[in-house]
Amino acid sequence: MIARVQPDHVTYTTVVSAFVKAGSMDRARRVLAEMTRVGVPANRITYNILLKGYCQQLQIDQAKELVREMTEDAGIEPDVVSYNILIDGCIQVDDSAGALAIFNEMRAKGIAPTKISYTTLMKAFALSGQPKLANKVFDEMLNDPRVKADLVAWNMLVEGYCRLGLVEESKKIIQRMKEHGFHPDVATYGSLANGIALARKPGEALLLWNEVKDRCTAKKEGEKSDDSDPPTLKPDEGLLDTLADICVRAAFFKKALEIVACMEENGIPPNKTKFTKIYVEMHSRMFTSKHASQARQDRRSERKRAAEAFKFWLGLPNSYYGSEWRLGSLDGDN
């Protein structure tokens, strides 16, 4: 006679997890109810899985009710993972005040915040346009000996200021980051580029591109490398496209050509359709004035040559280029 095997809490929790991943919260709750009925107690892991499911579906009220049931009915106190899930859930529904309330409740119960707790709360303030509060949370994180701030936390702080176009404040954060031994990565530069675009400061984009370009150049074989040197950077589409967009809008065509060349070298197809539209709408009448002085025309010669090279790259009619363009041909104009 084969013995009948009864499912245990691991079996039930696995089923709960499967229903949560499928988005079937009602069925997951029925499994939890069955666990209670057959006398297989759910543990904190089971409840946290359900909690995450509610938060992912933006059902924050149900998540909070589950925490109440977990505490009062099952006698299981939420842990730091539970609170981190709730804080992130508040972010999903743009409730930064709720995220802060949950964070404070967690600390009031004597539960020490983790790196994820701090960074998630920073994210709440950064996304809600409150970078100063994100900065305050970050300073608390730096002063907490149990937690070590990482690049993710620094980048979240930079993101908070960049979302409002506060470029100078963002650059100060990046300088602090470097002083603490962290090198900006693609995410850092991407946030800064977006902030520069929002603030409409194309000159800052040129400075940023120069730094990115230097970081993209790998050290040659045999060349000495200092431990303090930043690692070689692998740019992504978001960063390069934003920088190119800024340069095209500002008529910095030589730099725009450098950036699109970098995109092509890294296997990133530039959006020629977008750049053609920007050029036609903003710059198609450049250098067409019949009343400009000869001196002014001479001063504009380098920019005109770069503009014609960019038009050739776009496939638009141009004055100088018949079959090819080279960045090197522009260098002599300096």
**Residue 298 predicted with pLDDT over 70:** no
Contacts of 272 (CB under 8 A, 6+ apart): 313, 314, 315
Got the DSSP string for 292-312?
--HHHHHHTHHHHHHHHHHHH
- Indicate the pLDDT class of residue 325, thresholds 50, 70 and 90: very low
23-75 pLDDT, tens per residue? 888 898 888 888 888 888 888 999 899 999 999 999 999 999 999 989 988 88
Could you tell me the pTM of the whole model?
0.80
Span 1-22, average pLDDT: 74
**Residue 2 predicted with pLDDT over 50:** no
Span 94-114, average pLDDT: 93
- Indicate the pLDDT class of residue 276, thresholds 50, 70 and 90: very high
Residue pair 205/243 in contact (Cβ under 8 Å)? The answer is yes
Contacts of 294 (CB under 8 A, 6+ apart): none
Token couple for 138: 């970050």
185-208 pLDDT, tens per residue? 999 999 999 999 999 999 999 999
Dihedral of CA atoms 93, 87, 118, 162 in degrees, nearest 10, equals 0
Predicted local confidence at residue 153, as pLDDT: 94
Domain boundaries, the chain: 8-78
Predicted local confidence at residue 9, as pLDDT: 77
- 68-75: Cβ within 8 A, 24+ apart: 70/44, 74/41, 74/42, 74/47
